[in-house]
Amino acid sequence: RQGSELSGWAMGRWTYEGIDLNHNFADLNTALWDAEDNDLVPHEFPNHYIPIPEYYTLANATVAPETRAVIDWMQRYPFVLSANLHGGELVVTYPFDMTRTYWKAQELTPTADDGVFRWLATVYATSNLAMASEERRLCHYDDFTRFGNIINGANWHTVPGSMNDFSYLHTNCFEITVELSCDKFPHASELPVEWENNRESLLLYMEQVGLG
Protein backbone atom coordinates (compact mmCIF):
# COMPACT_ATOMS: atom_id res chain seq x y z
CA ARG A 1 0.00 0.00 0.00
CA GLN A 2 2.94 2.36 0.58
CA GLY A 3 4.44 1.69 -2.82
CA SER A 4 7.39 -0.48 -3.72
CA GLU A 5 9.97 2.30 -3.38
CA LEU A 6 8.36 4.44 -0.70
CA SER A 7 8.48 2.17 2.35
CA GLY A 8 11.13 2.56 5.06
CA TRP A 9 14.36 0.57 5.23
CA ALA A 10 13.15 -1.67 8.06
CA MET A 11 9.69 -2.30 6.59
CA GLY A 12 9.10 -6.03 6.31
CA ARG A 13 12.07 -6.89 8.53
CA TRP A 14 10.28 -6.93 11.89
CA THR A 15 8.62 -10.06 13.20
CA TYR A 16 5.22 -10.18 14.87
CA GLU A 17 7.08 -10.12 18.21
CA GLY A 18 8.83 -6.88 17.19
CA ILE A 19 12.29 -8.33 16.55
CA ASP A 20 14.40 -6.97 13.71
CA LEU A 21 15.82 -10.13 12.10
CA ASN A 22 18.53 -8.07 10.41
CA HIS A 23 20.18 -7.33 13.79
CA ASN A 24 19.25 -10.43 15.76
CA PHE A 25 22.34 -12.64 15.60
CA ALA A 26 24.88 -12.79 18.42
CA ASP A 27 27.42 -9.97 18.41
CA LEU A 28 30.73 -11.84 18.18
CA ASN A 29 32.59 -8.81 16.83
CA THR A 30 32.85 -6.98 20.14
CA ALA A 31 34.21 -10.03 21.95
CA LEU A 32 36.85 -10.59 19.26
CA TRP A 33 37.95 -6.97 19.15
CA ASP A 34 38.14 -6.73 22.95
CA ALA A 35 40.30 -9.86 22.98
CA GLU A 36 42.53 -8.42 20.25
CA ASP A 37 42.95 -5.18 22.19
CA ASN A 38 44.05 -7.21 25.22
CA ASP A 39 46.47 -9.41 23.22
CA LEU A 40 44.43 -12.54 23.91
CA VAL A 41 44.14 -13.67 20.27
CA PRO A 42 44.71 -16.44 19.34
CA HIS A 43 46.31 -18.14 22.37
CA GLU A 44 43.44 -17.39 24.79
CA PHE A 45 40.61 -16.31 22.49
CA PRO A 46 39.96 -17.73 19.01
CA ASN A 47 39.77 -15.56 15.90
CA HIS A 48 37.44 -18.03 14.16
CA TYR A 49 34.74 -20.52 15.22
CA ILE A 50 34.00 -18.07 18.01
CA PRO A 51 31.50 -19.61 20.44
CA ILE A 52 28.11 -18.04 21.06
CA PRO A 53 28.01 -16.01 24.31
CA GLU A 54 26.11 -17.61 27.16
CA TYR A 55 23.71 -14.67 27.52
CA TYR A 56 22.49 -15.24 23.96
CA THR A 57 21.50 -18.86 24.69
CA LEU A 58 19.31 -18.07 27.71
CA ALA A 59 15.62 -18.84 27.42
CA ASN A 60 14.67 -15.19 28.01
CA ALA A 61 17.14 -13.80 25.46
CA THR A 62 15.55 -11.66 22.75
CA VAL A 63 16.21 -14.10 19.96
CA ALA A 64 13.56 -14.82 17.35
CA PRO A 65 12.68 -18.47 16.68
CA GLU A 66 13.59 -17.82 13.04
CA THR A 67 17.08 -16.73 14.12
CA ARG A 68 17.55 -19.77 16.35
CA ALA A 69 16.43 -22.04 13.51
CA VAL A 70 18.91 -20.49 11.08
CA ILE A 71 21.76 -20.83 13.60
CA ASP A 72 20.89 -24.51 14.16
CA TRP A 73 20.89 -25.00 10.38
CA MET A 74 24.27 -23.31 10.00
CA GLN A 75 25.76 -25.46 12.76
CA ARG A 76 24.47 -28.69 11.20
CA TYR A 77 25.85 -27.99 7.72
CA PRO A 78 29.38 -26.67 7.04
CA PHE A 79 28.46 -23.90 4.59
CA VAL A 80 31.43 -22.13 3.05
CA LEU A 81 29.65 -19.52 0.92
CA SER A 82 26.38 -17.70 1.43
CA ALA A 83 24.45 -14.61 0.41
CA ASN A 84 21.42 -12.98 1.94
CA LEU A 85 19.14 -11.01 -0.31
CA HIS A 86 17.70 -7.60 0.58
CA GLY A 87 15.83 -4.91 -1.35
CA GLY A 88 15.71 -1.14 -1.50
CA GLU A 89 19.16 -0.47 -2.97
CA LEU A 90 21.53 -1.71 -5.69
CA VAL A 91 24.82 -2.71 -4.08
CA VAL A 92 26.69 -5.71 -2.68
CA THR A 93 28.02 -5.38 0.86
CA TYR A 94 30.60 -7.54 2.61
CA PRO A 95 31.82 -7.93 6.21
CA PHE A 96 32.36 -6.55 8.59
CA ASP A 97 28.89 -5.02 8.90
CA MET A 98 29.57 -3.59 12.35
CA THR A 99 31.94 -0.69 12.92
CA ARG A 100 34.89 -1.42 15.18
CA THR A 101 34.55 1.97 16.84
CA TYR A 102 31.23 1.36 18.60
CA TRP A 103 30.01 4.97 18.52
CA LYS A 104 30.61 5.48 14.80
CA ALA A 105 27.73 5.07 12.37
CA GLN A 106 30.14 4.52 9.46
CA GLU A 107 33.70 3.23 9.49
CA LEU A 108 35.72 1.07 7.12
CA THR A 109 36.02 -2.20 9.05
CA PRO A 110 37.62 -4.92 6.91
CA THR A 111 38.09 -8.55 7.90
CA ALA A 112 41.37 -10.41 7.66
CA ASP A 113 39.97 -11.85 4.42
CA ASP A 114 39.11 -8.50 2.87
CA GLY A 115 40.57 -9.38 -0.52
CA VAL A 116 38.44 -12.51 -0.79
CA PHE A 117 35.29 -10.68 0.26
CA ARG A 118 35.94 -7.87 -2.21
CA TRP A 119 36.39 -10.45 -4.96
CA LEU A 120 33.16 -12.26 -4.09
CA ALA A 121 31.22 -9.00 -4.00
CA THR A 122 32.74 -7.90 -7.30
CA VAL A 123 31.86 -11.20 -8.99
CA TYR A 124 28.21 -10.63 -8.11
CA ALA A 125 28.08 -6.91 -8.85
CA THR A 126 29.78 -7.06 -12.25
CA SER A 127 27.52 -9.85 -13.51
CA ASN A 128 24.29 -8.37 -12.16
CA LEU A 129 22.43 -6.86 -15.11
CA ALA A 130 20.87 -4.01 -13.13
CA MET A 131 24.13 -2.99 -11.43
CA ALA A 132 26.25 -3.31 -14.57
CA SER A 133 23.80 -1.48 -16.84
CA GLU A 134 25.02 1.75 -18.46
CA GLU A 135 21.56 3.14 -17.73
CA ARG A 136 21.84 2.27 -14.05
CA ARG A 137 20.25 4.99 -11.92
CA LEU A 138 20.76 5.90 -8.31
CA CYS A 139 18.21 4.38 -5.97
CA HIS A 140 18.46 7.09 -3.34
CA TYR A 141 21.40 9.40 -2.66
CA ASP A 142 24.42 7.02 -2.47
CA ASP A 143 26.37 6.66 -5.71
CA PHE A 144 27.72 3.12 -5.37
CA THR A 145 28.87 3.07 -8.99
CA ARG A 146 31.97 4.98 -7.81
CA PHE A 147 32.97 1.86 -5.87
CA GLY A 148 32.02 -0.71 -8.48
CA ASN A 149 28.66 -1.26 -6.76
CA ILE A 150 30.29 -2.91 -3.73
CA ILE A 151 31.01 -1.54 -0.26
CA ASN A 152 32.23 -2.70 3.12
CA GLY A 153 29.03 -2.98 5.15
CA ALA A 154 30.28 -0.98 8.12
CA ASN A 155 31.48 1.75 5.79
CA TRP A 156 27.87 2.19 4.63
CA HIS A 157 26.06 1.90 7.96
CA THR A 158 26.81 -0.14 11.06
CA VAL A 159 24.73 -3.28 11.69
CA PRO A 160 25.43 -4.98 15.03
CA GLY A 161 24.35 -8.61 15.12
CA SER A 162 24.25 -9.15 11.37
CA MET A 163 24.05 -12.60 9.84
CA ASN A 164 27.10 -11.87 7.67
CA ASP A 165 29.41 -11.17 10.60
CA PHE A 166 27.98 -14.05 12.62
CA SER A 167 28.43 -16.52 9.75
CA TYR A 168 32.02 -15.46 9.25
CA LEU A 169 33.06 -15.48 12.92
CA HIS A 170 31.04 -18.47 14.17
CA THR A 171 31.12 -20.90 11.25
CA ASN A 172 33.84 -19.59 8.89
CA CYS A 173 31.23 -19.12 6.15
CA PHE A 174 31.88 -16.25 3.75
CA GLU A 175 28.61 -14.38 3.41
CA ILE A 176 27.66 -11.18 1.61
CA THR A 177 24.50 -9.11 1.38
CA VAL A 178 23.03 -8.39 -2.02
CA GLU A 179 20.73 -5.39 -2.28
CA LEU A 180 18.80 -6.58 -5.30
CA SER A 181 16.78 -3.64 -6.50
CA CYS A 182 15.71 -0.07 -5.88
CA ASP A 183 12.24 -1.54 -5.41
CA LYS A 184 12.03 -2.93 -1.89
CA PHE A 185 8.81 -4.73 -2.71
CA PRO A 186 8.62 -5.34 -6.50
CA HIS A 187 5.22 -6.10 -7.97
CA ALA A 188 4.58 -9.64 -9.12
CA SER A 189 4.75 -8.54 -12.76
CA GLU A 190 8.30 -7.29 -12.18
CA LEU A 191 9.66 -10.52 -10.71
CA PRO A 192 10.69 -12.12 -14.04
CA VAL A 193 12.91 -9.10 -14.75
CA GLU A 194 14.38 -9.27 -11.25
CA TRP A 195 15.16 -12.96 -11.80
CA GLU A 196 16.92 -12.28 -15.09
CA ASN A 197 18.92 -9.47 -13.46
CA ASN A 198 20.25 -11.88 -10.86
CA ARG A 199 20.26 -15.33 -12.46
CA GLU A 200 23.77 -15.25 -13.92
CA SER A 201 25.26 -13.47 -10.92
CA LEU A 202 23.82 -16.09 -8.56
CA LEU A 203 25.31 -18.89 -10.65
CA LEU A 204 28.73 -17.21 -10.95
CA TYR A 205 28.75 -16.50 -7.25
CA MET A 206 28.10 -20.14 -6.37
CA GLU A 207 30.82 -21.24 -8.78
CA GLN A 208 33.39 -19.41 -6.64
CA VAL A 209 33.24 -22.32 -4.18
CA GLY A 210 34.99 -24.53 -6.70
CA LEU A 211 37.56 -21.84 -7.49
CA GLY A 212 38.54 -21.17 -3.87
Count of beta carbons in the 10 Å neighbourhood of residue 101: 12
Whether 2 is covered by a domain: the verdict is no
Whether 13 is covered by a domain: the verdict is no
Helix (H) or strand (E) holding 151: strand 150-152
Would you name the residues annotated as active-site residues?
179
Whether 43 is covered by a domain: the verdict is yes
Can you give the pLDDT at residue 22? 86
Can you give the pLDDT at residue 175? 98
Can you give the pLDDT at residue 5? 58
Q: What is the CATH number of the domain that holds 178?
A: 3.40.630.10
Whether 131 is covered by a domain: the verdict is yes
Can you give the pLDDT at residue 10? 65
Can you give the pLDDT at residue 194? 94
Can you give the pLDDT at residue 42? 94
Whether 8 is covered by a domain: the verdict is no
Count of beta carbons in the 10 Å neighbourhood of residue 162: 26
Whether 6 is covered by a domain: the verdict is no
Can you give the pLDDT at residue 98? 98
Can you give the pLDDT at residue 183? 83
Whether 14 is covered by a domain: the verdict is no
The answer to whether 186 and 87 have CB atoms below 8 angstroms apart is yes
| DSSP per-residue letters across 92-119 | EEES--S-SSTT-S------TTHHHHHH
Structurally, the chain folds into a number of domains equal to: 1
| Full pLDDT tens readout for the chain, 212 residues | 555 555 566 677 788 889 998 899 999 999 999 999 999 999 999 999 999 999 999 989 999 999 999 999 999 998 999 999 998 899 999 999 999 998 999 999 999 999 999 999 999 999 999 999 988 888 888 999 999 999 999 999 999 999 999 999 999 999 999 999 888 888 889 999 999 999 999 999 999 998 65
Domain span holding position 206: 21-210
Helix (H) or strand (E) holding 90: strand 89-94
Whether 90 is covered by a domain: the verdict is yes
